[in-house]
């Protein structure tokens, strides 16, 4: 057994020790600086509201698993969970619409949720004044968690399995040798360790500093008050019997606490807490996770609370606090083993709501090599270097706090910490009045206002968008898409993927082990293949280009996948890994005239007829040395052109200039995405992820079972033998004016079969097109329906790719 040291005995640390013990792991030590188990961390005073449902599938799953665990641990004598249900009320018509959308994802993720009228809300929780609301969403399985009760049950079990808990013991340093953790130094001596799991809550960044790993979280104070007893709750005998209430329009939430209420508010100005201002247990009278209450900041939330719950007028506030917990730049937890230091695992920025679910997944990850739930969006390695700057993650985390209860549009812009990374084409894109969005820190053009005149050319074919789908949208997107289909466009794909160079005498052997395809291709060829994790799920779909006998360029999805590849690089000196993303840029030249443009910028001899699809050559495009790959995109001729960042501007200018006779334009990412969807092309991380294996999502051709070994092969064969739980289907919406956005549920009669992963519009069919993941096979005769904002739209399965116009 590996020696595992868990730092922190809050809900997260204790849940991880519990799940590891349940899975048979021994040799676990938990070290806590405060007393056991009311440690003074965030868990000690967490009000424990559990709203499971969110637009994020992974967070919803983690929350549901937490509820499951807390229910299992709950007894009549000691309740770990009160399943009293929750009500999210809408104070505005916009919020009510958003709740309809949320009811849709509830069906997508398999959670029961009911839209209620104002009166029905008041029937569920009689404290609510129905005149103040437009309606609400009721989730019967939500409730109140009692994390300290759960901790008590879990730690009793863990202790029986031999887990040792040390209270009043502070971790002061960590020993790392050759990039691998070795031991933890504490106020009570040294503990040898093969694996450290950092569950130190908002102290996490300090522990990270001990091993040189950035843990990009920002501690923030958040207001929570207790009221005096309400007459209306006089007869209550349970600590909590009434449904929780969330009033997101006013950024407040409510729970019953015996005969009074607990009220939390996100309304105030954010209070970021500096690491230097965080105390240790015993240093101050209050717990380290509590800052003094600032009553002035609660005046407005209190007024709003009185409006929704008039019964609050009489009792008034008993006491309040500004309690500290963690925020991250994207609102997601930080999980997994750090790429930089072997054996240093992190489970940070986790709400009580997701705690036990996270613990279960972390234990699986540690013991089996991969979790069953895809945790890519929570992976600690998802940030590139830029995002590890404290300025960046502080600003973004504050923005997260401010927006925590806002209505989030999928294409909503981030306001702060922009222009972190720009491609060499940025200057030209600004001249073309690009509308930028951020992707992995890069400013990525979504469309170009300079293409506005194209609208009149394509207007007749375009669909009229209204409401939600017309927000953060421009008809220019459609014009760019249609223009690409007719002529050609260049797309800046610098931000779309990561580019890695793998070289050395062991490079081929390494890539053969890493991927499911045969990488022993001829020099200049490329191959699309999969990487599987240890349990046979798809870690990523990647492209490999063999540049010379022992040098390969890998194009993978993002930082998580890149760090996964790096982690597997053998340490025998025979393989060199280099992330060349920031030093390179890439352009996709797409459309029926793309090869015409290429002919005018490269020597004709280079463009001989023997240059087949999938082949790459290094050549000059005027002054720029470019790796050019002949490809196809959306059923059209396309070229992927990669060069170094210093030469990118040259390349762009030459293409634009020489492309004039071909009506070449620069077009944005939104058109590119729609071209992908309308041509039935799937995207790793969007249409399938590590929970799926290649046979489930029609990637059979990317697996070469004749290869003796590759990571995940045994598990894949095993999974292939079992019945698949998922099918991927492409549907067409019957109503030509119907447009959906993604994550909507797909119904067959009253049964939700699954949900939409990617949504676009096919101009050849004149209809909306969606990729879906379903729990059972469907066929063309079945009448399926996609639900969008509470409305059902008929949909038909497509068996073949539509002919593209």
In the region spanning residues 209 to 228, those forming contacts with ligand FAD, defined by CB under 6 A, are 222, 224
Q: Residue 198 has which token pair?
A: 């950092």
Residue with smaller CB distance to ligand FAD, 9 or 770: 9
Q: Among all chains, which residue has been given the structure tokens 């690009």?
A: 434
* Complex with ligand FAD: residue 153 or 693, whichever CB lies closer: 153
For residue 583, give every residue at least 6 positions away whose Cβ sits within 8 Å of its Cβ, in sequence order, or none.
644, 645
Q: Please tell me whether residue 324 binds ligand FAD under the rule CB under 6 A.
A: yes
Distance CA 7, CA 449 (A): 52
Question: Residue 200 or residue 479: which is nearer to ligand FAD going by CB?
Answer: 200
Among 48, 343, 517, 659, binds ligand FAD (CB under 6 A): 48
Neighbour count for residue 742 (Cβ, 10 Å): 17
Q: Indicate whether 39 belongs to the interface with ligand FAD (CB under 6 A).
A: yes
User: Between 125 and 164, how does the x/- string for binding to ligand FAD read (CB under 6 A)?
Assistant: ----------------------------------------
47 binds ligand FAD (CB under 6 A): yes
Comparing C-alpha atoms, which of 278, 378, 283 is closest to residue 328? 378
Residues numbered 329-358 forming contacts with ligand FAD, rule: CB under 6 A: 350-353
Beta carbon nearer to ligand FAD, 223 or 581: 223
Q: Which residues contact 388 (CB under 8 A, 6 or more apart)?
A: 214, 216
Closer Cβ to ligand FAD, 81 or 761, answer by number:
81
Q: Compute the least distance from the CB of residue 197 to ligand FAD, in Å.
A: 11
d(CA 698, CA 720): 13
How near is the Cβ of 158 to ligand FAD at its closest, in Å? 15
By C-beta, is 324 or 641 nearer to ligand FAD?
Answer: 324
DSSP 729-759: EEEEESSTT----S--EEEETTEEEEEEEEE
Which stretch in 25-33, 90-98, 101-109, 525-533 sits in contact with ligand FAD by CB under 6 A? 25-33
The binding track of 226-265 with respect to ligand FAD, each residue x by CB under 6 A or -, is --------------------------------------x-
Smallest gap from residue 238 Cβ to ligand FAD (A): 18
536 binding ligand FAD? (CB under 6 A): no
For the CB of residue 105, give the shortest distance to ligand FAD in the complex, in Å: 19
Region binding ligand FAD by CB under 6 A among candidate stretches 9-17, 189-197, 513-521, 729-737: 9-17
One of 12, 565, 651, 739 touching ligand FAD (CB under 6 A): 12
Secondary structure (3-state) at 250: helix
Number of H helices, E strands in the chain: 18, 41
Parallel, antiparallel or unpaired: strands 218-227 and 317-327? antiparallel
Of residues 78, 226, 222, the one with CA closest to residue 152: 78
Angle between helices 559-568 and 507-514 (to 10 degrees): 120
Q: What gap in Å lies between CA 17 and CA 594, rounded to an integer?
A: 57
- For ligand FAD, how many residues bind (rule: CB under 6 A)? 38
Q: Is residue 82 a contact residue for ligand FAD (CB under 6 A)?
A: no
* 371 near ligand FAD (CB under 6 A): no
E-only strand ranges, 103-163: 114-116, 135-139, 143-145
| Binding window for ligand FAD (CB under 6 A); candidates: 320-328, 336-344, 448-456, 635-643 | 320-328
Distance CA 93, CA 449 (A): 32
- Helices 11-22 and 352-368, axial angle in degrees (round to 10): 40
Binding of ligand FAD at residue 327 (CB under 6 A)? no
| Residue (207 or 667) nearer to ligand FAD, CB | 207
Q: Which is nearer to ligand FAD, 288 or 760 (CB)?
A: 288
The dihedral through the CA atoms of 220, 221, 226, 232 has a sign that is negative
Stretch that binds ligand FAD, among 319-327, 367-375, 649-657, 689-697 (CB under 6 A): 319-327
Query: Which position among 17, 20, 28, 31 is part of the footprint of ligand FAD (CB under 6 A)?
Result: 31
- The nearest distance, CB 379 to ligand FAD, in angstroms, is 17
Site string for ligand FAD, 167-206 (x = CB under 6 A): ---xx---------------------------xxx-x---
Q: Between 353 and 762, whose beta carbon lies closer to ligand FAD?
A: 353
Instruction: Choose between 32 and 696: whose C-beta lies nearer to ligand FAD.
Output: 32
| Residue 333: CA count within 13 A, CB half-sphere | 30
Minimum distance from residue 729 beta carbon to ligand FAD (Å): 35
722 φ/ψ sector (left φ>0, alpha ψ -120 to 50, else beta): beta
Give the whole-angstrom CA distance, residue 300 versus residue 690: 45
- 9 scored as a contact of ligand FAD (CB under 6 A): yes
Site stretch for ligand FAD (CB under 6 A), options 10-18, 427-435, 555-563, 626-634: 10-18
For ligand FAD, the binding residue among 18, 20, 21, 41 (CB under 6 A) is 41
Strands 665-666, 489-492: pairing kind: parallel
For residue 423, is it left (φ>0), alpha (ψ between -120 and 50) or beta? beta
In whole angstroms, how close is the CB of 90 to ligand FAD at the nearest point?
20
φ/ψ bin of 690: left (φ > 0), alpha (ψ from -120 to 50), beta (otherwise): alpha
Tell me how many degrees the CA angle 502-702-506 measures, rounded to the nearest 5.
Answer: 25
Phi/psi of residue 677, each to 5°? -65, -45
| Between 8 and 243, CB nearer to ligand FAD | 8
Closer of 371 and 536 to ligand FAD (Cβ) = 371
Residue placing its CB nearer to ligand FAD in the complex, 21 or 107: 21
From the list 27-35, 226-234, 548-556, 680-688, the region that binds ligand FAD by CB under 6 A is 27-35
Distance (Å, whole) CA 394 – CA 706: 50
Q: Return the C-alpha torsion angle 53, 57, 58, 64, nearest 10.
A: 40
Q: 169 or 481: whose CB is closer to ligand FAD?
A: 169
Single residue of 5, 6, 8, 208 touching ligand FAD by CB under 6 A: 8
Residues in CB range of 557: below 8 A, 6 or more apart: 497, 498, 540, 541, 542, 684, 685
- Closer residue to ligand FAD in complex, CB, 262/441: 262
352/500 with CB nearer ligand FAD: 352
Residue 397 within binding range of ligand FAD, rule CB under 6 A:
no
Question: CA 252 to CA 261: how far, in whole Å?
Answer: 12
Closest approach of ligand FAD to the CB of residue 295, in Å: 15
Q: Which residues contact 450 (CB under 8 A, 6 or more apart)?
A: 431, 432, 433, 666
Site string for ligand FAD, 555-574 (x = CB under 6 A): --------------------
Tell me the chain's radius of gyration from C-alpha atoms. 28
- ω into residue 37 within 30 of 0, thus cis? yes
In Å, how far from its chain's centre is CA 57? 9
Smallest distance, Å, CB 28 to ligand FAD? 15
Judged by the rule CB under 6 A, the positions of this chain that interact with ligand FAD are 7-13, 31-34, 39-43, 46-49, 170-171, 199-201, 203, 207, 222, 224, 264, 289, 323-325, 350-353
């Amino acid at each position: 057994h590996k020696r595992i040291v868990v730092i922190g005995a809050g809900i997260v640390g204790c849940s991880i020790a519990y799940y590891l013990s349940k899975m048979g792991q021994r040799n676990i030590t938990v070290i806590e600086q405060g007393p056991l188990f009311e440690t003074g961390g965030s868990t000690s005073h967490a009000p424990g509201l559990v709203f499971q449902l969110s637009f994020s599938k992974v967070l919803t799953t983690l929350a549901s698993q937490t509820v499951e665990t807390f229910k299992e641990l709950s007894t009549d004598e000691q309740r770990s969970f009160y399943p009293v249900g929750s009500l999210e009320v809408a104070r505005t018509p916009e919020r009510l619409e958003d709740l309809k959308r949320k009811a849709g994802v509830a069906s997508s993720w398999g959670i029961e949720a009911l839209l209620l009228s104002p009166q029905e809300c008041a029937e569920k929780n009689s404290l609510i004044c129905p005149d103040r609301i437009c309606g609400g969403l009721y989730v019967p399985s939500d409730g109140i968690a009692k994390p300290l009760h759960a901790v008590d049950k879990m730690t009793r079990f863990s202790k029986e399995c031999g887990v040792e808990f040390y209270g009043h013991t502070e971790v002061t340093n960590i020993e790392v040798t050759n990039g691998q953790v070795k031991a933890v130094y504490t106020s009570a001596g040294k503990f040898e360790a093969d694996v450290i799991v950092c569950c130190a809550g908002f102290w996490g960044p300090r522990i990270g500093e001990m091993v040189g790993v950035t843990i990009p979280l920002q501690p923030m104070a958040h207001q929570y008050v207790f009221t005096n007893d309400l007459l209306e709750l006089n007869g209550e005998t349970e600590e909590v019997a009434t449904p929780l209430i969330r009033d997101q329009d006013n950024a407040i939430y409510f729970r019953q606490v015996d005969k009074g209420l607990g009220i939390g508010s996100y309304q105030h100005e954010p209070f970021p807490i500096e690491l230097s201002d965080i105390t240790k247990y015993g240093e101050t009278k209050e717990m380290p996770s509590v800052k003094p209450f600032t009553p002035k900041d609660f005046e407005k939330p209190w007024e709003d609370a009185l409006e929704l719950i008039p019964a609050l007028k009489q009792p008034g506030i008993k006491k309040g606090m500004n309690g500290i917990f963690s925020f991250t730049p994207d609102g997601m937890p930080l999980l997994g083993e750090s790429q930089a230091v072997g054996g240093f695992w992190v489970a940070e920025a986790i709400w009580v709501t997701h705690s036990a679910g996270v613990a279960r997944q972390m234990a699986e990850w540690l013991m089996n090599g991969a979790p069953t739930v895809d945790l890519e969006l929570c992976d600690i390695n998802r940030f590139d270097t830029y995002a590890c700057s404290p300025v960046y993650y502080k600003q973004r985390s504050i923005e997260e706090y401010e927006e925590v209860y806002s209505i989030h549009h999928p294409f909503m812009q981030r306001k702060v910490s922009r222009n972190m990374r720009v491609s060499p084409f940025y200057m030209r894109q600004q001249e073309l009045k690009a509308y930028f969005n951020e992707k992995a820190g890069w400013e990525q053009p979504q469309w170009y206002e300079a293409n506005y005149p194209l609208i009149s050319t394509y207007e007749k074919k375009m669909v009229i968008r209204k409401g939600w789908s017309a927000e953060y949208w421009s008809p220019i997107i459609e014009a760019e898409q249609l223009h690409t289909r007719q002529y050609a466009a260049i797309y800046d794909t610098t931000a779309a993927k990561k580019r890695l160079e793998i070289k050395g005498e062991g490079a081929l052997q390494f890539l053969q082990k890493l991927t499911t395809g045969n990488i022993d291709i001829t020099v200049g060829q490329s191959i699309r293949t999969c990487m599987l994790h240890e349990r046979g799920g798809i870690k990523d779909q990647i492209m490999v280009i063999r540049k010379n006998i022992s040098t390969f360029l890998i194009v993978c999805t993002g930082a998580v996948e890149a760090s996964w590849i790096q982690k597997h690089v053998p340490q025998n000196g025979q393989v060199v890994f280099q992330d060349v993303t920031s030093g390179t840029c890439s352009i996709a030249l797409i459309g029926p005239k793309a090869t015409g443009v290429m002919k005018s910028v490269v020597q004709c001899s280079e463009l001989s007829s023997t240059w087949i699809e999938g082949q790459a050559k290094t050549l000059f495009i005027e002054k720029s040395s470019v790796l050019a790959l002949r490809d196809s995109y959306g059923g059209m001729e396309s070229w992927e052109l990669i060069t170094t960042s210093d030469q990118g501007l040259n390349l762009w200018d030459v293409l634009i200039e020489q492309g004039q006779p071909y009506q070449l334009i620069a077009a944005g990412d939104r058109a590119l995405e729609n071209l992908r969807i309308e041509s039935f092309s799937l995207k790793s991380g969007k249409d399938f992820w590590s929970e799926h294996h290649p046979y489930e999502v029609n990637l059979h051709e990317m697996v070469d079972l004749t290869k003796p070994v590759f990571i995940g092969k045994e598990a894949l064969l095993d999974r292939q033998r079992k019945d698949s739980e998922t099918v991927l289907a492409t549907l067409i919406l019957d109503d030509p004016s119907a447009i959906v956005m993604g994550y909507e549920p797909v119904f067959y009669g009253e049964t939700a079969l699954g949900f939409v992963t990617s949504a676009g519009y096919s101009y050849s069919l004149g209809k909306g097109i969606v990729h879906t993941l379903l729990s059972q096979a469907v066929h063309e005769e079945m009448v399926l329906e996609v639900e969008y904002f509470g409305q059902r739209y008929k949909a038909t399965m497509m068996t073949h790719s539509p002919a593209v116009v």
